[in-house]
Amino acid sequence: MENGGYVGEVEPAGKKPIAELRGVTKRFGEVLAASDLNLSIAEGEFLSFLGPSGCGKTTALRMLAGFETPTEGDVLLDGKVVNTLEAHHRPVNMVFQQYALFPHMTVAQNIGYGLRQIRPRIPKAEISERVSKALDVVQLAGFEDRKIWEMSGGQQQRVALARAIINEPKLLLLDEPMAALDRKLRKEMQIELQDLQRQLGITFVLVTHDQEEALSMSDRICIMRDGRIVQIGSPQELYDRPNSRYVADFVGTSNFFNGKLQRSTDGLSEVLLDNGMRIQGMPGDGLVDGQEVCVSVRPEQMKLRRQGKGLEVEVHNRIFLGEHTEYLVTHETLGDFLVLAPRQADLSEGAFAVRDKALVSWETSAALILDRN
Amino acid sequence: MRLYAICVYLFLYIPIGVIALFSFNAGRHASQLQGFSTKWYGKALSNPFVMDALETSLVVAFCSALFASVFGTMAAVALQGIRGPVRATFDLLIYVAVMIPGIVIGIATLIGLVTVFDQLNPLIAAIWPDGFKPPKLRMGIGSLIAAHTMFLMALVVIIVRARLAGMDRALTEASSDLYATPMGTFRQVTLPMIFPAILAGFLLSFTFSFDDFIIAFFVAGSETTLPIYVFSSIRRGVTPEINAIGTMVMGVSLLLLITAQLLLQRGGKKSR
Ligand SMILES: Nc1ncnc2c1ncn2[C@@H]1O[C@H](COP(=O)(O)OP(=O)(O)OP(=O)(O)O)[C@@H](O)[C@H]1O
Ligand SMILES: [Mg+2]
């Protein structure tokens, strides 16, 4: 880890872990798909793996499901090492990205599949009763005898969900379950999924590369990059205290100014920017004097004024967003950056027009000094 | 260009059409048409030699198609689980097996079986209880079925492999994720999904075996299959009876081939 190794709370405070990854590494030949993953998932929590394509999210999930065995390290379920335990012996269910519904079975047969595998056999009547109940939960009552290809994408997704939750798994794994849905349906399903998770109390592990989805749904998010976990934390923690430029960029938007860390005193530090300016900010963990760093300031933390102190900029573009106005401003040597002004500020100060001169300032506490990577 | 294509098709299908046409000939000469009649069909079907040969052909075709489908499917499923160079080698061997000319398979099977029988027969005779006549392994229906099964298995492997490869891996994973054992997954997910392909493989194998002359000619021993019967009687001249047999065989073969084709298409669509 470049930044001293602190990735946040690997263990959630005070709760019993239902699943754990301990130093888990997975190689596919030359490809390092997962590298030294350390993570503990608490009972009843909603955890997301967030990261760009190919960063190893699916691989991590598949090791929990039992489709891949780790090359190194241990996977634990309920405190027991299960590295080589086959998928059909694990009390874990998965919702597949393309749903993977059985095309030769009806909706009811698909949903009852897991229950039908259990020995000693569960009576038929009980299975069909539980199937109806599961259909109720996903709001598909009455669709029992439909064929899979007669269902829309959103309905198929619910069937896939019902097929997993009917088994009351200890852990429900979801691999980008909403990726195939359109925007509106995705929003609806996100809310339903969250409700469902609270209602059932099942632990959810969601894989996504959609930051909004992860931020709005999760108790904790695990940010991944190139097979490594970069940071773990609640959505607020990741937003307010990212441990690297990568995280600050991935979670929300931010403005970055590159420079060298000058003097690290307790609490506050000074950065010599590449253009020769010096600014103060809050240093992140594990940074050393002289290190190449960047200063991150969120657009909504910046204030745009006509008089006083601040960076002299020119307004380049203005987008009215209702509650906020987004200004793209240009500084002579620092380049372009974004400022998000609340409606209130626009009303009291008067809105800026394109090509207006303005002064940008922010609180020192809003400037985070971060690892460049 | 179009004319050329038409000529090719005419060239291909005129002889077949002529055979079908002359099978309804009322006259007894194969070369001149003398009115319409189905009497040659009746004659063919009441000829005990024809019926004998037909029975042999049907038994051989059914048994070899059955064995080929079962073993071919098993091989295909096993191959699916293997990766890397081993699988590539086996894939290559399977394709080669299908492309080897029938005459080579015929000779090879003949030599192979004769050698094995020569080794086994004294052995069996030696361990057989005194006073009983020991059975003698020789060419016959068994060797016919064996030769056809070996050849057709490769065909079934190819058809079933194509179907398996088109099947989403996530389906079998979903099944095991839902607590099904590997056997349960095979029975409840894999088998139903590849069944159309297996059936198509069975029908194709049946047709190939039923129509095969070359391999059968080498390994049939004293048995006579329908193609062998047709071949031997044709040396005494082409009669309308032969035409009738040919037309019937062709009709049945076409029916089976079309069914197989439909199965493969429908099966392919459903899995999407
Ligand atoms: N079975 C496999 N064989 C070889 N390489 C693999 C295999 N599965 C995954 N990989 C590689 O491992 C890396 C991580 O893959 P993974 O599927 O976990 O990514 P991901 O984060 O889920 O990406 P996406 O968002 O695109 O689904 C990739 O480089 C991928 O090519
Ligand atoms: Mg993935």
Query: Per-residue pLDDT tens for A234-244?
Result: 999 999 999 99
Interface contact A104-B173, CB threshold 8 A? no
Read off the pLDDT band of A12 (50, 70, 90): low
The whole-angstrom separation of Cα B200 and Cα B197 is 5
Q: Which segment of A97-101, A341-345, B189-193 scores lowest on mean pLDDT?
A: A341-345
Average pLDDT, chain A: 90
End-to-end CA distance of chain B: 38
**What is the reported pLDDT for B198?**
94
Q: Is A33 in the pocket of ligand 1 (CB under 6 A)?
A: yes
What is the rounded distance in angstroms from the CA atom of residue A361 to the CA atom of residue A370? 19
Average pLDDT of span A228-238 = 94
| Token pair listed for A155 | 């309905």
Predicted local distance difference test score (pLDDT) of residue A264: 67
- At A269 the pLDDT is 87
Other CB atoms closer than 10 Å to residue B96's CB: what's the count?
10
Under the banding of pLDDT at 50, 70 and 90, the label for residue B148 is very high
Q: Give B193's contacts in chain A (Cβ within 8 Å).
A: 103-104
B190 touches chain A (CB under 8 A): no
How many Cβ pairs within 8 Å bridge chains A and B? Answer: 60
Other CB atoms within a 10 A radius of the CB of residue A353 amount to: 8
**Highest-pLDDT range among A16-20, B32-36, B40-44, B128-132:** A16-20
pLDDT at A257: 93
Q: What pLDDT, in 10s, does the model give residues A297-334?
A: 999 999 988 888 888 999 999 998 888 899 999 999 88
Q: Is the CB of A350 under 6 A from ligand 1?
A: no
Give the range among A70-74, A117-121, A230-234, B242-246 with minimum mean pLDDT: B242-246
CB contact under 8 A, B270 and A104: yes
The class of domain A253-371 in CATH terms is mainly beta
d(CA A116, CA A88): 13
Q: Give the residue-averaged pLDDT of B14-25.
A: 82
pLDDT of residue B269: 54
Residues of chain B with Cβ-Cβ distance to A98 below 8 Å are 168, 170
pLDDT at B221 over 50: yes
> Whole-angstrom Cα distance, residue A348 to residue B211?
93
| DSSP symbol at A147 | B
> Mean pLDDT throughout A329-354?
87
- Residue A6 pLDDT class (50, 70, 90 cuts): low
More confident call, A285 vs A199: A199
Question: Is A167 near ligand 1, meaning CB less than 6 Å away?
Answer: no
Which residue, among B97, B80, B93, has the nearest Cα to B163 in the 3D structure? B80
Q: Residue A193 pairs with which residues in a beta bridge?
A: none
- Tell me the pairing of strands A46-50 and A31-42: unpaired
The pLDDT, as a whole number, for residue B271 is 47
Give, as one character, the DSSP assignment of residue B186. Answer: I
Q: Where are the alpha helices (DSSP H) in chain B?
A: 2-22, 39-46, 48-80, 85-99, 102-127, 141-166, 169-177, 182-185, 191-211, 214-219, 226-234, 240-270
Mean pLDDT over B21-41 rounds to 76
Judged by average pLDDT, the poorest of A218-232, B79-93, B186-200 is: B79-93
Partners of A162 on chain B (C-beta within 8 Å) are none
Other beta carbons within 10 angstroms of residue A218's beta carbon come to 23
Question: Tokens in use for A49?
Answer: 């793996």
Query: What dihedral angle (degrees, nearest 10) is formed by the CA atoms of A101, A102, A104, A109?
Result: -90
Give the whole-number percent of chain B exceeding pLDDT 70.
Answer: 96
Q: What pLDDT band is residue A11 in, cutting at 50, 70 and 90?
A: low
- Homologous superfamily of A2-245: P-loop containing nucleotide triphosphate hydrolases (3.40.50.300)
A55 lines ligand 1 (CB under 6 A): yes
Domain segments of chain A as ranges:
2-245, 253-371
Q: State yes or no: pLDDT of A4 exceeds 60.
A: no
pLDDT at B124: 84
The proportion of chain A whose per-residue pLDDT surpasses 90, expressed as a percent, equals 63
Residue A302: per-residue pLDDT = 93
Residues for chain B: how many in total? Answer: 272
CA distance B104 to chain A (A): 42
Query: pLDDT tens, B57-108?
Result: 999 999 999 999 999 999 999 988 888 888 889 889 988 888 888 889 889 8
| Reported ipTM | 0.82
Find residue A360's DSSP bridge partners.
A304, A311
3-state DSSP assignment of residue B226? helix
Q: What is the pLDDT of residue A346?
A: 78
In this prediction, residues A75-88 reach a mean pLDDT of: 93
Distance, in Å, from the CA atom of A155 to the CA atom of A191, rounded to the nearest integer, reads 15
Q: Which pLDDT belongs to residue A5?
A: 55
- Mean predicted confidence (pLDDT) in A18-35: 94
Under an 8 A CB cutoff, do B271 and A163 touch?
Answer: no
Express each pLDDT in A251-271 by its tens digit. 888 999 999 988 766 678 889
CB neighbourhood size of B233 (10 A): 18
Token duo for residue A43: 């009972």
Task: From the options 3.30.9.10, 3.30.479.10, 1.10.3720.10, 3.40.190.150, give the CATH code of B51-239+254-271.
Answer: 1.10.3720.10
B232 touches chain A (CB under 8 A): no
In terms of C-beta distances under 8 Å and separation of at least 24 residues, what long-range contacts does A328-335 make, across chains too?
A: A329/A304, A329/A358, A329/A360, A331/A360, A333/A275, A333/A276, A333/A277, A334/A257, A334/A273, A334/A275, A334/A277
CA distances from A118 to A3, A137, A143 (A): 48, 22, 24
